[in-house]
Amino acid sequence: MPSTDAVENNSMEEFLKRLIDQRAQLVEKRDNLERKATAILMVAKDQHGDTLSAEEDAEVRAHVEEMRGLGENIEALDKRIQEVGEEVRRSGTIANNLAKVRHTERAAIHVKESAVYTKENRHQRSYVKDLIRLTMNIDPDGESRRRLFDHASDVANNPEYQEYRDISRVDGSGGYAVPPAWLMDQYVTYARPGRAFANVTQRQTLPGGTDSINVPKMLTGTTVGVQTADNTLVSETNLTDTFINAPVRTISGQQGVAIQLIDQSPIAFDDVVFRDLVAAHAAVLDTQVIGGTGSSGQVLGVGNTPGISSVAASAVTIAGVYSALANAVQTVHTTRFLPPEVIVMHPRRWGWFLSLLDGQQRPLVLPNGNMPFNAAGILTDVDSQQVVGNIHGLPVVTDPNIATNSGAGTEDIIYVMRSSDLILWESGIRARVLPETRAANLTVLLQVYNYLAFTAARYPQSVVQITGLTAPTF
Q: Are residues 213 and 347 in the same domain?
A: yes
Q: Are residues 291 and 172 in the same domain?
A: no
Split into its structural domains, the chain has a count of 2
3-class secondary structure per residue, 157-184: HCHHHCCCCCCCCCCCCCHHHCCCCCCH
95-109, 169-183, 363-377 — most confident range:
363-377
Distances (CA, A) of 81 to 5, 11, 26, 47, 92: 20, 14, 14, 44, 16
Q: Are residues 61 and 206 in the same domain?
A: no
User: For residue 371, what pLDDT band results from cuts at 50, 70 and 90?
Assistant: confident
Cα–Cα distance between 53 and 40 in angstroms, integer?
Answer: 10
pTM beyond cutoff 0.85: no
Which tens digit of pLDDT belongs to each residue from 86-129? 888 887 777 777 766 666 655 554 444 456 776 666 566 677 77
Distances (CA, A) of 283 to 255, 385, 443: 17, 12, 27
**What integer pLDDT is reported at residue 441 of this predicted model?**
92
**Looking at the domain assignment, is residue 256 inside a domain?**
yes
Q: Are residues 282 and 170 in the same domain?
A: no
**What integer pLDDT is reported at residue 7 of this predicted model?**
47
Q: Are residues 174 and 257 in the same domain?
A: no
**What integer pLDDT is reported at residue 111 of this predicted model?**
47
Collapsing DSSP to helix, strand or coil, 212 comes out as strand
Residue where a domain stops, chosen among 149, 180, 211? 180
**What integer pLDDT is reported at residue 114 of this predicted model?**
57
At residue 157, does pLDDT exceed 80?
A: no
Q: Are residues 361 and 262 in the same domain?
A: yes
Q: Are residues 279 and 428 in the same domain?
A: yes
Q: Sort 289 into a burial class: Cβ within 10 Å, 0-12 / 13-18 / 19+.
A: buried
Q: 446 pairs with which residues across the strands?
A: 255, 433
**What integer pLDDT is reported at residue 333 of this predicted model?**
97
**Looking at the domain assignment, is residue 409 inside a domain?**
yes
Q: Are residues 224 and 102 in the same domain?
A: no
* Selected residue with higher pLDDT from 164 and 167: 167
Collapsing DSSP to helix, strand or coil, 399 comes out as coil
Q: Are residues 321 and 363 in the same domain?
A: yes
Q: Are residues 175 and 251 in the same domain?
A: no
**Looking at the domain assignment, is residue 141 inside a domain?**
no
Q: What is the mean pLDDT of residues 131-139?
A: 73
Collapsing DSSP to helix, strand or coil, 366 comes out as strand
User: For residue 1, what pLDDT band results from cuts at 50, 70 and 90?
Assistant: very low
Which tens digit of pLDDT belongs to each residue from 283-321? 999 999 999 999 999 999 999 999 999 999 999 999 999
User: For residue 12, what pLDDT band results from cuts at 50, 70 and 90?
Assistant: confident
**Looking at the domain assignment, is residue 438 inside a domain?**
yes
**What integer pLDDT is reported at residue 159 of this predicted model?**
64
**Looking at the domain assignment, is residue 150 inside a domain?**
no
Q: Are residues 281 and 175 in the same domain?
A: no
**Looking at the domain assignment, is residue 433 inside a domain?**
yes
**Looking at the domain assignment, is residue 154 inside a domain?**
no
At residue 419, does pLDDT exceed 70?
A: yes
Structural domain harbouring 456:
196-467
Among 116-130, 244-258, 316-330, the minimum mean pLDDT is found in: 116-130
The phi and psi torsions of 101 (rounded to 5 degrees) equal -60, -45
Cα–Cα distance between 246 and 385 in angstroms, integer?
Answer: 26
CATH number at residue 447: 3.30.2400.10
* Selected residue with higher pLDDT from 460 and 262: 460
**Looking at the domain assignment, is residue 308 inside a domain?**
yes
* CB-based contact 144:130 (threshold 8 Å): yes
Q: Are residues 173 and 268 in the same domain?
A: no
Residue where a domain stops, chosen among 127, 147, 180? 180
Residue where a domain stops, chosen among 120, 145, 180? 180
Q: What is the mean pLDDT of residues 67-76?
A: 89
